[in-house]
Amino acid sequence: MPVLHNLVSNKELKQRLMEETEPRTTVSFYKYFTISDPQAFRDRLYQAFLKLKVFGRVYIAAEGINAQISVPASRFEAMKQQIFDFDPALNGLRMNIALDDDGKSFWVLRMKVRERIVADGIDDPSFDASDVGAYLKADQVNTMLDDPEAVFVDMRNHYEFEVGHFDNAMEIPADTFRDQLPMAVEMLAEQKEKKIVMYCTGGIRCEKASAWMKHQGFDNIYHIEGGIIEYTRKAREQGLPVRFKGKNFVFDERMGERISEDVLAHCHQCGASCDTHVNCLNDGCHLLFIQCDDCAVKYRGCCSPECLEESALTPEEQRQRRAGRETSNKIFNKSRGLLRMTLPTPINKDDA
């Protein structure tokens, strides 16, 4: 049986990617449908993707599939057809092609079986994830944005909302999708009669959120088809005003797609206008935060003087300093400020 996982170091894989001469296409897709044997599904798809030189991150669960991948441009159509033919439920699947793509979004294929394709914390056997709100296309989104009876709800995390959003959109101030769902119900309790429009990056979170809101008794629920990515693409193709402002945060090496020239965020160190996300270069931190060019030079890519000092120590001195350090989410949080934290994964990629 062939090896069904990667055996090459990340350093070598990154080098191979940099040496590629053919452009790559970055694409994301998801589908809620029943998979009776997720592990067998995963293994078959892994082999198919490996032959097409697909890189990226794919989650598979009994409830469906969630993928963010890149593929050599010449193999994009073959990959798409492979997905359409792979399972009847995937035939004609919508794929969100990246808006601002340098082809260097992923350097390895990671495909995992999970309990859920999006970590939602829902433990209610009566919940029907397929009973979703009404889809909105680009022109309908723009119409809704001008409707005083419509409330736009951003179902992304704070670090995503901070760099880009629709005007007057409601932020649900939680660090994870599982925490956002009950919070959204509470925050919108007095607006049940209004039109609730939910949106996210590519559609996967807001689609499930729309079903959850309906399950909680909300009747006028909508969500943007394909999320920010598809809305922007269709609006541009149709010559419509693109009403999303700033950057669309993405869960890969790019960390953002420029939608408009508006810069909504600020450097977390000096407060200058900036919307560039980075990870602290201190290997004992890797905090996800916003840093301007001047602070990148001043702190040498680190998030704080402490991290700058630590990064200059010998490897052994760094290990001694980090021993016993408490762990937490490695994301800048507006309520916590720039805290040094030590979880090895900078963002919750289940929320992609």
Active-site residue, from 200, 267, 280, 292? 200
**Annotated catalytic residue 200:** yes
- Whole-angstrom Cα distance, residue 229 to residue 94? 12
CATH superfamily of 134-246: Rhodanese-like domain (3.40.250.10)
pLDDT of residue 336: 43
Helix axes 227-237, 138-145, angle to 10 degrees: 100
Fold of the CATH domain 10-113: Alpha-Beta Plaits (3.30.70)
pLDDT of residue 59: 95
- 171 bridge partner residues: 154
Q: What are the residue boundaries of the structural domains of the chain, listed by start?
A: 10-113, 134-246, 277-351
The answer to whether 152 touches 169, Cβ cutoff 8 Å, is: yes
Which residues, given as ranges, of the chain have pLDDT below 70?
A: 1-20, 101-103, 324-352
End-to-end CA distance of the chain: give it in Å, rounded. 32
pLDDT of residue 334: 46
The answer to whether domain 10-113 and domain 134-246 are alike in fold is no
Report the run of H or E that residue 70 belongs to, with start and end.
Answer: strand 64-72
CA dihedral sign of residues 249, 254, 258, 259: negative
The answer to whether 151 touches 191, Cβ cutoff 8 Å, is: yes
pLDDT of residue 322: 80
pLDDT of residue 269: 93
Interval 159-189: pLDDT, tens:
899 999 999 999 998 878 999 999 999 999 9
Interacting residues of 119 by C-beta distance below 8 A, sequence separation 6+: 176, 177, 178, 348, 350, 351
pLDDT of residue 325: 66
- Whole-angstrom Cα distance, residue 128 to residue 215? 8
Instruction: Tell me whether residue 345 is exposed, middle or buried, using C-beta atoms within 10 angstroms of its C-beta: 0 to 12, 13 to 18, 19 or more.
Output: exposed
